[in-house]
Amino acid sequence: MSAVHTAITTAEQQHRIYKAFDWIIIPIVVLVIIGANHIHAMLTMGDWDFWIDWKDRRWWVTVTPIALIFFPAALHYILWNNFRLPFGATLATAGLLIGEWANRIANFVGWAYFPLNMVVPAEIIPMALCLDAILLISRSLTMTGVLGAMLWGIIFYPANWVIIAPFHVPIEYNGTMMSLADLIGYNYVRTGTPEYIRIIEEGTLRTFGEDVTPVSAFFAGFISVGAYFLWLGIGKWFGLTTWMKRV
């Protein structure tokens, strides 16, 4: 049943078509990942990502890794299972960052005139590199879920500290102590974003000492593991090749 169905005769032709297929599919995949992952990200952890005065030790650290592991997991399933390609997480996060940077520069700065340092997105590529690397080394989605997703949650804050630490230097301002991030949020007026709308750490009688961040990071890692497996399943579902006569 071969000859009738085929459009070509030589291996050279086949190779050329395979290459052409890559060249058109890769841009499609990249664009759809930027679009879909970005709308997912902005509406699940966007507020923390937009503003420097939202990047706190509790909620930002907890919410961001959990929300962002969905697409990497789905892409891991589709790309690994079908093609043995281990770059789903990096593709998802780097794509997201392209979308975020384009928007922050063109719109937050270019339209609303906020200073760029106020709206720099969180750094998420190191986590993705680890997740991909663990998949490649272990060649196991299960191992990647258990080890990689845990690591994903844990290293989010350390990987970002080098970017946000300067904004946590204290300042005395009108008789109050603030971090520079708080001050930027106060200085640069956002009419629709009052101070209280920030969902940030407020402290409890159980936030002992300095361990707010590690607690948040471990929790984020733990949930990321669960989310990773859930999203392997969802990726599997989206990757089904179902045909139906009628719908």
By CB under 8 A, the residues from 106 to 135 that bind other proteins are 106-108, 110-117, 120-121, 123, 125-126, 128-130, 132-134
Please report, as residue ranges, which positions from 225 to 244 form the binding site for other proteins (by CB under 8 A): 232, 234-236, 238-244
Give yes or no for a contact between 85 and 23, defined as CB atoms under 8 angstroms apart.
Answer: no
State the nearest-atom distance from the C-beta of 218 to other proteins, in Å.
16
Of these, 146, 201, 215, 219, which contacts other proteins (CB under 8 A)?
201
| 9 forms part of the interface with other proteins (CB under 8 A) | yes
* 105 lies in the site for other proteins, by CB under 8 A: no
Minimum CB separation from other proteins for residue 222, in Å? Answer: 19
Number of residues written out for the chain = 247
> What residues numbered 45-74 form the site for other proteins, per CB under 8 A?
45-48, 50, 53-57, 63, 70-71, 74
The tokens for 112 are 């609303």
Q: Which is nearer to other proteins, 48 or 221 (CB)?
A: 48
Q: Cα(88)–Cα(152) distance, rounded to whole angstroms?
A: 14
Round to whole Å and give the CA distance between 160 and 153.
Answer: 12
38 binds other proteins (CB under 8 A): yes
Closest Cα partner for 190 from 59, 55, 51, 38? Answer: 51
Binder of other proteins out of 61, 91, 220, 227 (CB under 8 A): 91
Residue 209, Ramachandran bin (φ over 0: left; ψ between -120 and 50: alpha; else beta): left
Query: Residue 42 has which token pair?
Result: 């902005």
The yes or no reply on residue 219 touching other proteins (CB under 8 A) is: no
Would you count residue 208 as binding other proteins (CB under 8 A)?
no
106 contact partners, CB below 8 Å, separation of at least 6 = none
- Minimum CB separation of residue 153 from other proteins in Å reads 13
Phi and psi, residue 170, nearest 5°: -80, 155
Provide the 3-class DSSP secondary structure of residue 214: helix
Q: Which one, 21 or 226, has the nearer CB to other proteins?
A: 21
